[in-house]
Structure 1
Amino acid sequence: MNASERIDQMIAGLSDWRRATFARIRECILAADPEIVEEWKWMGSPVWSRDGMIAVANAHKGKVKLTFAHGAGLPDPDTLFNAGLEGNARRAIDFFEGDKIDARALKALVRAAIEYNRAHLKKNARPAPSKAGSKKT
């Protein structure tokens, strides 16, 4: 089973309001960029990546949490982040029953995360190991 199928299965297993909320969050993330990759990590967490990790989501009792790996470095003009605000790297959005998802703002935040990843891709890449002792002729 691939990651997308596992995420489908996980969402289908939610029996309350979290199912529709989780599905809508996923829909917004995937609609933000056609090259986003879905992954399944850490023994059961949906992860979305594009040039690095964008976000991870989990259904908790009473909420759905969407955590952006580099949220502290992202612009959040719509003030979506409401959790993990004290962290140096991550920021999260906790969605509770009855919350409406601002699709436009969430897609913009996902696109900002992709731009962050792209801007830091070369900076974070490790240089290729040098070939010490090799001679050029």
Structure 2
Amino acid sequence: MSSQLIDAKIKALGDWRGEMLIRIRSLIKEADPDVIEGVKWRKPSNPAGVPVWEHDGIICTGETYKSLVKLTFANGASLQDPSHLFNASLEGSTRRAIDITEGGKIDEKGFKALIRAAVALNTSKAAVRASRPRTKPKSS
């Protein structure tokens, strides 16, 4: 169902932003065949919501604006970016983003490396969470 929601969003865009989301989606799936795609944050002002790609947590989101496609990496500040793809949200302590404007290109090799790094980070965090002993809440 979630994939169909992304398909519908791409179709509704009907322009270069939809084409860019198609390309990004393909690269994400190439980098991580086990990725789970979904749509979050649906509301009256944005009924189509925001495409989200996850693997043991959010990898990145694909927001579309009038003049750009914004790929926000949930834990981007913790990722190495040797290809220097991050060009937005650089001041934050957690997220980093890649803004792509019409006619813009994406370094496919570098982007897939970022996706794999984000998955590795999420997987390592999930392993740490799973290894923690569960504690019972204290009763009063």
Same fold at TM > 0.5: yes
Moved more, 99-108 or 54-63: 99-108
Q: Closer, same or farther in 2 for the Cα pair 1:91/1:131, shift >3 Å?
A: closer
Q: Closer, same or farther in 2 for the Cα pair 1:26/1:132, shift >3 Å?
A: same
The structure having more radius of gyration, on CA atoms, is 1
User: Which of 123, 126, 130 in structure 1 is aligned with 2:136?
Assistant: 130
Deviations 1:50-76 (A, max 9, x none): 111100111101000000000000000
Match of 2:41 in 1: 42
Residue 110 (structure 2) pairs with residue 105 (structure 1): yes
3-state secondary structure, aligned to 1:57: strand
Deviations 1:7-65 (A, max 9, x none): 00100111221111111111111111111000111111111011111001111010000
Q: Closer, same or farther in 2 for the Cα pair 1:90/1:124, shift >3 Å?
A: farther
Q: TM-score, normalised by structure 2?
A: 0.87
Q: TM-score, normalised by structure 1?
A: 0.89
Mapping for residues 64-103 of structure 1, pairs under 5 Å: 64-103=69-108
> Per-residue deviation at 1:121?
1.6
How many percent identity over aligned positions?
Answer: 48
Q: Distance in 2 between matches of 1:22 and 1:8?
A: 10
Letter in 1 for 2:117: A
Residue 30 (structure 2) pairs with residue 31 (structure 1): yes
RMSD (Å), alpha carbons: 1.8
Q: Which runs of 5+ in 2 are unaligned?
A: 43-48
Q: Distance in 1 between matches of 2:96 and 2:126?
A: 20
Moved more, 2-11 or 15-24: 15-24
Match of 1:16 in 2: 15
* Regions of 4+ moved over 6 Å: none
> Per-residue deviation at 1:123?
3.3
